[in-house]
Amino acid sequence: MKAGPLRQERGMVLLLVLVVMALLSALLSDFAFSTLVDLRLAETFRDRSRAYYLARGGIRAGQMILQEDQNNYDGRDEMWSQGVANFPVGEGFLTIDITDQDGRLAINSLVIGNNPQSVQKERFLRLFEILEFPDGPDLVAALIDWIDIDNEEYVQDGLLGAESNEYLSRDPSYSARNGPLKSFEELSLVRGFTPEVVAQLKPHVTIYGDSGVNLNTATPEVIATLYFDEEDRITL
């Protein structure tokens, strides 16, 4: 009869020990998780800082390479064009790739103000044909409308553009730039410029420069688009 209360006390002690152990386990698990998160954050910060300074070093090295280029000629046989591959820097590797943007068709020279430039328009039409884009003319028209300063659709020579009213109906909605592109990636916002189209265009077009083309660094596709006048001279 006297053993009953003792067994109850032992049971209560055992239950209390189990509760304490469960609480400690939960606290330890939470502490371990927090420590792991802090460790991952520290590693991410370290890696981002390392990548940032590697990138800055690469830019500076590229600038130094270009400073050595003192001639009036830019071609693929020059030192800057060779770049640097997998150069060890600290715990990382640095790759420098310098590309002459003058060897590409300048997107923003397609329209000046509100006036499509006929020579550039023909070049882009030829380029899209060479790249076998099935809706090339509509792509050119949409690009013209993206750059020109008005909100009237470009309709000429069978081309049909796209203005803000089309983009505002999308989800999420946005307006046409109605001005020069700020980045190459902005092309993906223009009607018809799918990721596949943008990827194919990347080696051949740029948002920088004017209508001039450097034949020494242009791709064969770009060279094939160049406009020839009546005297068979390339217009650069």
Nearest CA to 87 among 109, 53, 54? 54
User: What's the rounded Cα separation, in Å, for the pair 94 and 54?
Assistant: 7
Residues 68, 146 within the same domain:
no
User: What's the rounded Cα separation, in Å, for the pair 175 and 181?
Assistant: 13
Q: Does residue 164 form part of some domain?
A: yes
> What is the overall mean pLDDT for the chain?
84
Residues 134, 214 within the same domain:
yes
Q: Return all residues near 25 (Cβ < 8 A) that are at least 6 apart.
A: none
Which parts of 32-166 are beta strand (E)?
Answer: 84-89, 92-96, 105-106, 111-112, 115-116, 155-156, 159-160
Q: How many residues does the structure list for the chain?
A: 236
Q: Considering its fold, how many domains does the chain have in total?
A: 2
In the structure, what pLDDT confidence band is assigned to residue 6 with cuts at 50, 70 and 90?
Answer: low
CATH number (domain holding residue 139): 1.10.40.60
Q: Does residue 145 form part of some domain?
A: yes
Q: Does residue 207 form part of some domain?
A: yes
In the structure, what pLDDT confidence band is assigned to residue 2 with cuts at 50, 70 and 90?
Answer: low
Residue 61 CB-density burial (10 A; 0-12 exposed, 13-18 middle, 19+ buried): middle
Residues 116, 69 within the same domain:
no
Residues 119, 38 within the same domain:
no
User: What's the rounded Cα separation, in Å, for the pair 121 and 139?
Assistant: 11
Q: Return all residues near 43 (Cβ < 8 A) that are at least 6 apart.
A: none
Last residue in a domain, options 72, 96, 120: 96
Residues 147, 89 within the same domain:
no
User: What's the rounded Cα separation, in Å, for the pair 221 and 232?
Assistant: 18
Q: Which domain does 49 fall in, by range? A: 12-96
Q: Does residue 77 form part of some domain?
A: yes
> Looking at this protein, which amino acid is placed at residue 161?
G
In the structure, what pLDDT confidence band is assigned to residue 235 with cuts at 50, 70 and 90?
Answer: very low
Q: Return all residues near 36 (Cβ < 8 A) that are at least 6 apart.
A: none
Give the three-class secondary structure for 130.
helix
Residues 113, 85 within the same domain:
no
Last residue in a domain, options 73, 96, 119: 96
Strands 205-206 and 105-106: parallel
Q: Does residue 89 form part of some domain?
A: yes
In the structure, what pLDDT confidence band is assigned to residue 147 with cuts at 50, 70 and 90?
Answer: very high
Question: How is residue 230 written in tokens?
Answer: 């009546």
Q: What is the mean pLDDT of residues 157-163?
A: 77
Q: Does residue 236 form part of some domain?
A: no
Residues 72, 133 within the same domain:
no
Amino acid 133: pLDDT: 94
* Residues 37-95: tens digit of each pLDDT: 777 888 888 888 888 888 888 888 888 888 888 888 888 888 888 888 887 777 778 88
Amino acid 56: pLDDT: 84
